[in-house]
Amino acid sequence: MCSICGYIWEFQLKSIGKIKTLGKNIMPDMISVENIDEKSDGQRIDNFFFKRFKGVPKSHIYQLLRSGQVRVNSKRINADYRLQQNDKVRIPPIRISQSCSVQDIRKMAKPHPITFEVLFEDEWLLAINKPSGIAVHGGSGISHGVIEQLRICYPNWKFLELVHRLDRETSGVLLLAKKRSALVEVHRQIREGSVQKRYCVLVRGKWCNTKQSVKLSLNKYVTADGERRVTVVSGKREDRKELSSHTVFILKKNWQNFSLLEAELKTGRTHQIRVHLAHLGFPIAGDNKYGDFALNKQLMKGEQGFSLKRMFLHASSFDLIHPATGKYIHLEAPLSDDLTVFLHRLDEDTIPTEDGNHPLL
């Protein structure tokens, strides 16, 4: 699997030394010293190296730090040292593991450009309406995600990082920071629970409660084939790490066998909404990990005129305090056309089958 995406190849490797022939390992031919600017101010030194040298094992980076080969202002530092503007970082020769073929690199160096709907932008923040089916960042066989696409489109931006993440199949509000100070401040708001993130979600089944608060302990694990999964756990065990999670669900509309909910995240665990709803017996329509697979198959085929080819989970809004101005910001992303059409189809269907029931509704 390729560990260096096209963007890194084109832009980042230029800054770490001489690039040798494609297909061979890459190593700067001398020690370099880098002056830290605003975009890296406040970043941990280990994370600085992880981001800069994507092809290098983390264990090797830590070995360089422990051995003193990496220095800041001519002094040895620990891995948790936070960089400050105008620090001078000594970067030793580093060999990058090159597992990509020349063909892989050339293919990834030319990503198909994607235009994102911009919901908000100023010199500190950027908010877009992320389409379904696009990962927020590269990895796990994905060469270019949202962040890589944006960096390629705006190479002159000194800093651009994701404030939070959305699953690949989830659409809606995605917030990015254009300054490290903005990233740190919004992360503080997220940790303290002062932001509000709401999602629009369609589930199988007739939801009864107008408002329901769900608190469950979750456990993350990886399947034998490397797929990331989350499950609800009960009872504490020393051999696993349990994560508390909290979602508030509000009923927006009912149909015979579907319900439209608003989900407000109080915590932001991986797959939290999906796992909560599946555990309660209300799987999300189109969820290919935790959903009703028979129903999903019907929806994919468009049986009885009901077609849904994605998961019905949409990040509808994100409320926060602007990290620089202190003003309240409400970010909102409209539903995509395919989700809107599906809801209209539910409203329009009033014709029962011979037995008085609809197979889907």
Q: Catalytic residue numbers? A: 167
- Judged by DSSP in three states, 186 sits in helix
226: left (phi over 0), alpha (psi -120 to 50) or beta: left
Q: How far apart are CA 229 and CA 28, in angstroms?
A: 39
Q: How far apart are CA 102 and CA 22, in angstroms?
A: 6
Q: How far apart are CA 127 and CA 331, in angstroms?
A: 8
Please, are residues 292 and 283 in contact by the beta-carbon 8 Å criterion? yes
**Rounded alpha-carbon distances, angstroms, from residue 212 to 202, 250, 283:** 15, 7, 16
Q: For residue 254, give the H/E element and its range.
A: strand 243-254
Q: 12 CB contacts (<8 Å, ≥6 apart)?
A: 52, 54
Q: 341 CB contacts (<8 Å, ≥6 apart)?
A: none
- Kindly give the pairing relationship between strand 313-321 and strand 171-177: parallel
Q: How far apart are CA 269 and CA 244, in angstroms?
A: 8
**Rounded alpha-carbon distances, angstroms, from residue 271 to 5, 60, 130, 167, 351:** 26, 31, 17, 8, 36
Q: How far apart are CA 185 and CA 236, in angstroms?
A: 34
Q: How far apart are CA 162 and CA 36, in angstroms?
A: 21
- Tokens (6 digits) for 313: 């989970």
Q: Which residues face 150 on adjacent strands?
A: none
